[in-house]
Amino acid sequence: MGVAERFDLTDKVAVVTGGSRGMGRSMVLAFAEAGADVVIASRKLDNCQALAKEVEATTGRTAMPIAVHVGHWDECDALVDAVYDRFGKCDVFVNNAGMSPLYPDLVSVTEELFDKTVGVNLKGPFRLGTLVGQRMYEAGSGSIINVSTIGSLLASVGELPYACAKAGLNAFTVGLAEALAPKVRVNCILPGAFDTDITAPWSDEMKSGRMVPLKRLGAPDEISGAALYLASDASSYTTGALLRVDGGMTRKV
């Protein structure tokens, strides 16, 4: 198999939660350009529909938009059912949806904020990963990609519930990889500081990227290479891995 063939996703089906914007959008476009039909899942259906039209117009691949709140297990179940009802299979599933709400200090973190953060960043991916993982295992193959954060390793006081939830997602990745081996691979991407809408409340200093060894923030499409690697046969001997894509960060943002 040649190098290009290893990254080819022709006729595969790839699902991306949080897929309508930011890094999720970049992954959707990369998968479609590599030949996959894509499912774009997010809370706002109109954003998913707009990207689906763009994908179909620019790549010719089928794009299915669907609204889902991954913090609700009934909606997670419905998403997986909808994918298999439409396509009969799922080859790549990306748990990318996430949220990191702001708070003034740790004592001010409410139970509602904590539960929402854990729900979207860990509870939902747990349910989705186990559901789709079982179906992939029964089909004989598949790749699950969880999207965590470098903050799960370099936790800061300003995003501690988020960091805790994502640290759980790291552990889930390793455990699920063992549970689904040898048929299904499960890996995790740990992005650093990327220039997406999540950076809107950041200070000018943080937005400059001067705290990153590469001296800039990442562009959303710079996540695509890692995602395509883990989605494709190029990573056929990679499972249970935590892949840092963070510009070399060694300290907290």
Active site residues per annotation: 162
> Between the CA of residue 148 and those of 47, 90, 95, what are the distances in Å?
23, 21, 9
Question: What residue type is 249 in one-letter code?
Answer: M
Q: SS3 string of 5-49?
A: HHCCCCCCEEEEECCCCHHHHHHHHHHHHCCCEEEEEECCHHHHH
Beta strands at 92-95 and 13-17: parallel, antiparallel or unpaired: parallel
For residues 94 and 189, the answer to whether their CB atoms sit within 8 Å is no
10 Å CB burial of residue 251 (0-12, 13-18, 19+) is exposed
Cα separation, 38 vs 19, in Å, equals 10
End-to-end Cα, the chain, rounded Å: 41
Question: What residue type is 31 in one-letter code?
Answer: F
Angle of CA points 249, 42, 48, to nearest 5°: 110
Alpha-carbon dihedral of residues 93, 244, 218, 56, nearest 10 degrees? -20
